[in-house]
Amino acid sequence: MDSSQGSTIAGFVDNASIQRKQSSFDGVPVYVKELIAGGFAGALSKTAVAPLERVKILWQTRTPGFHSLGVYESMNKLVKREGFQGLYKGNGAGVIRIVPYAALHFMTYERYKSWILNNYPVLGSGPCIDLLAGSAAGGTSVLCTYPLDLARTKLAYQVVDTRGDIKDGIRGVQPTHNGIKGVLTSVYKEGGARGLYRGAGPTLTGILPYAGLKFYMYEKLKTNLPEEHQKSIVMRLSCGALAGLFGQTLTYPLDVVKRQMQVGSLQNASHENVRYKNTIDGLRTIVRTQGWRQLFHGVSINYIRIVPSAAISFTTYDMTKSWLGLPPQQQKSRSVSAA
């Protein structure tokens, strides 16, 4: 294997070590390596921002006692009620979801991009291809892993004190969900397979432009960097952060609709227990009953969350690909288009 590929992460481990690690993956199909790199990147980035993710969900779903608090106050209240582990409640489901989600997302992005480059050379090989491939990859990964996202949201929505009494989120309306299996079983009994995909409409509506724009911006920013800086970890972190920030700003209201649809059956009387018919109905109803500001409630914490999350995800993926012996995206695109 070419030692120049291992040099992309010089400074962390020496080249000899890299070569020994890469040799253990000789013969492994490229798409499997992409799945490994994507899954690892997703798990690391998701865990790094789990406390912020939980607070964001509590804000989006207007959980009593939390929707009017700030970030620090919300976290402090969670710690007092549930202990430090409360900051990571639902993260187990989140990681179980994000590993296959991110693995599929990055792998199918690579596959879709190669397919487009091979079959539609007239489109060129610029960032616009990343927009198309990223959108298709986002839709594919969402459809395959959505029930786990639903479980993560329902678990994160419940706030229980250390005595085990239900506080806020659920007031005796439904029993507490204990773990991913309990959530999925309960949801399936209540609404069948369709119930497992409640809120998938706004998710797909949002993920198609978000995933496409995220990959588009990341590759566009990287290609505009001087070649000597394209392998810089700081530059990769910066490009990933800006890409995530741009995509989330445009699609955030759809995420709010999705979260409220996901916890609809758990909300108490103060939420009117409204069930939205579809994405458009959800947007209209939220604006009419909760005010247009609710569509952006939690966007500030989402900015705080998405910057490290996207930065860590993209950078970890690129570095893990290099560690596994896969070429950088720009190099790969050029070789595919030239073939």
Q: What is the DSSP letter of 166?
A: E
What's the pTM value of the predicted model, to 2 decimals? 0.64
Q: 3-state DSSP call for residue 153?
A: helix
- Minimal CA–CA distance to 45: which of 199, 201, 241? 241
Helix (H, G, I), strand (E, B) or coil at 187: helix
Q: How far is CA 296 from CA 49, 152, 158, 290, in A?
A: 19, 21, 22, 11
Contacts of 276 (CB under 8 A, 6+ apart): 257, 260, 261, 264, 282, 285
Question: For position 310, what pLDDT does the model report?
Answer: 80
Contact 337, 125 (CB under 8 A): yes
Contact 49/322 with Cβ under 8 angstroms?
no
Determine the pLDDT at residue 338: 34
CA separation for the pair 200, 110 (Å, rounded): 24
- The span from the CA of 81 to the CA of 103, in Å, is 34
State the residue for tokens 């291809």: 129
| 58/154 Cα distance (integer angstroms) | 10
Tokens (6 digits) for 111: 């596959």
Closest CA to 216 of 250, 258, 252: 250
Q: What distance in Å separates the CA atoms of residue 153 and residue 97, rounded to the nearest whole number?
A: 11
Please return the burial class of 225, using the count of CB atoms within 10 Å of its CB with bins 0-12, 13-18 and 19+. middle
pLDDT value of residue 161: 56
Q: What is the pLDDT of residue 67?
A: 65
**Mean per-residue pLDDT pooled into runs of 10, the chain (339 residues):** 43 42 65 88 87 81 74 84 81 80 90 90 80 90 86 72 47 55 84 83 78 82 76 79 78 80 56 66 85 79 77 86 72 40
Tokens of 154: 């329902």
User: Are 215 and 318 spatial neighbours (Cβ–Cβ below 8 Å)?
Assistant: no
Contact in structure between 112 and 132 (CB atoms under 8 Å): yes
pLDDT of 140 reads 92
Q: Is the dihedral of CA 214, 220, 223, 225 positive or negative?
A: negative
